[in-house]
Chains A and B, each alone.
Chain A
Amino acid sequence: QVQLQESGPGQLKPSETLSLTCTVSGGSIYPYYWSWIRQPPGKGLEWIGYIYHDGGTTYNPSLKSRLTISVDMSKNQFSLKLTSVTAADTAVYYCARLRSNEAFEIWGQGTLVAVSP
């Protein structure tokens, strides 16, 4: 079955750039929508953005100025870059596949990213 795995650094300093990759195994990037979601410690879920297999993107307006999501079909991966991080970006970051562009049907296990001086 399809599995997702996030990878990337677990710690960053303020003002650095967060880079995460989600590797899709057991299935293809095509023809789905793929998304990033985050969850600050002890808090609820926040949608970050999504990318379509053709590279089209939509971002959460609150993050749009700092955010880039990209896809690499040859590696069956999609990635997130978030610039100028602050402590408010500390969260578990999940990648997920969208079902019919509406529900997040498959999730990665999540990766904790901590931002501290």
Chain B
Amino acid sequence: SYVLTQPPSVSVAPGRTARITCGGNNIGSKSVHWYLQKPGQAPVLVIYADSDRPSGIPERLSGSNSGNTATLTISNVEAGDEADYYCQVWDSSVDFYVFGTGTKVTVL
């Protein structure tokens, strides 16, 4: 089965840039989606189709995808960006939805 690997944690100072990676075999050929989840809350879609933002999601969040790595970038990090972030793909070959292992972002 398809596996998505994320770093368990990323720490970043306010105002800096956080980059969260999502590794998968030839992930560049798939459409990657990103969610943030705050404690006790449901996940929220923040990036879909590699780099598109749903309405209401700030431009500070951006995504890219190439080769074996997809990346979620959070620019000008704020305290409110502290959350768990998950990547996700649809493995069309077996019609199966895969989530990454999740990354906890801590704002220093």
Residues of chain A touching chain B, judged by Cβ–Cβ distance below 8 Å, are 35, 44-47, 50, 58, 60-61, 94, 99, 101-105, 107-110
Contacts and interface: CB of A to CB of B under 8 A. Distances in A.
B38 to A, nearest CB: 12
B49 A46 contact: no
Interface string B49-86: 10000100000000000000000000000000000001
B16 to A, nearest CB: 26
Interface of B: 31, 33, 35, 41-45, 48-49, 54, 86, 88, 90, 95-102
B83 to A, nearest CB: 13
Most buried by B among A46, A58, A104, A110: A104
B101 A44 contact: yes
Contacts of B45: 99, 103-105
Given A102-B33, A103-B31, 8 more contacts: A35-B97, A47-B96, A101-B90, A102-B31, A102-B48, A104-B33, A105-B48, A107-B42
